[in-house]
Chain A
Amino acid sequence: MGLLKLIRSRFLYRLIFVTMLIQVAYQGILYLSIWSVFGDDIGSSSRLALDMLQVGAVGVALLVAWVFVLLWLGRKFMEPLDRVVVSVRAACQGEIGRKVEIDAQDEIGVLASSYNQMLDLIVYLIRQTQESSRLLQRSSNDILSATEQQASGAAEQAASISETTATMEELASTYRQIAENADQVVNMAEASLGSAESGQQAVMNTLSAMEEIKVRTQSSANKILALGERSQQIGQVLSIINSIADQTKILALNAAIEAARAGDAGKGFSVVAIEIRKLAQSVVESTGEISAIMGEIQSAANELVMSTEQELKQVQSGVDLAHTTGDSLEQILEMVEQTTVAAKEISAATQQQKSATDQVVKAMREVAAVAQQTAAGSRQVATSAESLSTMARESSQVGAAFTIVDGA
């Protein structure tokens, strides 16, 4: 049984066995034919039979010799193939690179050289793979760290963007307040514009009233002057009356004197004369009173005229003051108009700023969305880098399964 297993396991032994069987069969047939042809002779002659035995022995000896020769030669021919087999078996067990050096041009030599070439290729491939996986590992690590940095940067960016957005919204609300305040300023300026205009109207009314007062005061002053002149005329009349009374007095005195000279006859007349004289005296007294009253009237008229002049001056100063007030109101009007324009400009500018800020906020939101997308992308990249790293690890494991033996 051991022999059978050996035959089965070794090609050489199988070949020898098969060749031996063929030789046995061949020689047997040969011997049988000889026996059939020359059997009778062989049986009849013992010498021949012996010859025959001799031939048979030589044949067996030849067979044995042939087997040994074949074994020796076969061993010699099969030895390189065994080496190839050993190398292939080692490569199958992970030990690659054991080359088989056979100096032959036959099939085995071709097989060995081809096998060597193949080994070179495989070694090159494995080395490439190992290098690539190492590079891949490093690159995936780099990508991972870069992605982590990117992720933290994206987070910072998102925080900054949210801060900026909040600031921008605050700015927008501030601008709204400013715009409201500017609107209030516009309203107030318009109200003061109305007030100033009504004030100007009032100043115009005051001016016309002042003019009227001036005219009336002038006319009353003229009337008072006329009154003074009239009272002077009355004074002239009074002086005439006075002189008449004086003459009357003299006449009465003369009458009294005449009556006295007439003695008792003129007594009654003397009384009448004295009465007339008293009347004249009382006329003089009355005219004195009248002239005193006239003097009072005249001085009062003069005072009136003076006070009227004063009044006129005051009215004039009032007119001047009203003019000044009007000018001031005019200036106030101009300034208020300028204020209104400026406040409107401020309001418009603030509105523009507000819309600009809104746009900035919108843009910031877009930037935030982009940043989120970037973060998601970097997460994906991280995942991919992780899988790449895994792949690199796997491929490096694959490379590590092979041991490269140099110089084999």
Chain B
Amino acid sequence: MTAEQVLRERAEALARETDDQERGDILSLLLFRVVDEQYAVEVSAVREIFQEYRVTPIPCVPDFVLGVINIRGEILSVCDAARLMHLGSNRLDTDAARPAIVIEREDVATALVVDEIGDIAEVRQEAVEPPVGSLDRANAEFVCATVEIDGSLVSLIKATRILEPITSTRH
């Protein structure tokens, strides 16, 4: 039995599973970590992920904007998720290669620098619950829901709220 056959069988098995789950309303979430917190964002709002990039700092911008990058000819602003969500900005390993998630809604896009990219999780719509009340205001601004994935609570980020400053600068 060759590896190709194994992969094919597995793919078929997984495809059947997806067919079974299709009856419910399934939500695809991309998990990531900022400082110590686990967050998630809807895959529909994510355009791509990249790890190797060169930030060009720009003046006269809020402190959460690290600069701009050139992705295949398109200039995108780069935001630090930790600073944006007031999770502590005094990070020592700023020079370390940190992955960035390109979030896009309608025609507005930005790159959100996080600490670690997790998995893509598929959850039912019923598993999505309102955010817990104990969140502080700054954090609660960005969090729209709480999802339980593999026994841990993950905050679901509002992509529109992330893109808000950029859209507001546009308008």
Q: Please count how many residues in chain B sit with their CB below 8 Å of the partner chain's CB atoms.
A: 20
| A274 at interface, CB cutoff 8 A | yes
Considering only residues 260-281 of chain A, those with a C-beta below 8 Å from chain B are: 260-261, 267-268, 270-272, 274-275, 277
Q: How far is the CA of A256 from the CA of B119 in the complex (A)?
A: 10
Q: How far is the CA of A261 from the CA of B10 in the complex (A)?
A: 22
Complex contacts, A197 vs chain B, CB 8 Å: none
Verify A250–B43 contact, CB threshold 8 A.
no
Cβ-Cβ contact count across A and B, 8 Å cutoff: 53
Of the four ranges (under 10, 10 to 19, 20 to 34, 35 or more), the interface on chain A belongs to 10 to 19
| A257 at interface, CB cutoff 8 A | yes
- The distance from the CB of B115 to the nearest CB of chain A, in whole angstroms, is 14
Interface of A is mostly: helix
Closest A residue to B48 by CB, please name it: A254
Interface 9-residue window, one of B11-19, B85-93, B141-149:
B11-19
| A148 at interface, CB cutoff 8 A | no
Verify B117–A250 contact, CB threshold 8 A.
yes
Complex contacts, B30 vs chain A, CB 8 Å: 253, 257
Question: Chain B 84-105 against A: per-residue CB contact (8 Å), 1 yes, 0 no?
Answer: 0000000000000001000000
Whether A257 contacts B7 in the complex (CB less than 8 A), given A246-B51, A267-B15, comes out as no
| B128 at interface, CB cutoff 8 A | no
Q: How far is the CA of A267 from the CA of B44 in the complex (A)?
A: 13
| A247 at interface, CB cutoff 8 A | yes
Q: How far is the CA of A260 from the CA of B14 in the complex (A)?
A: 15
Closest A residue to B52 by CB, please name it: A247
Closest A residue to B117 by CB, please name it: A253
Please give 15 more A-B residue pairs, beta carbons under 8 A apart, in addition to A257-B47, A261-B47, A275-B14: A249-B117, A250-B51, A250-B99, A254-B48, A254-B49, A254-B50, A257-B49, A261-B46, A268-B15, A270-B120, A271-B14, A271-B18, A274-B14, A275-B7, A275-B11
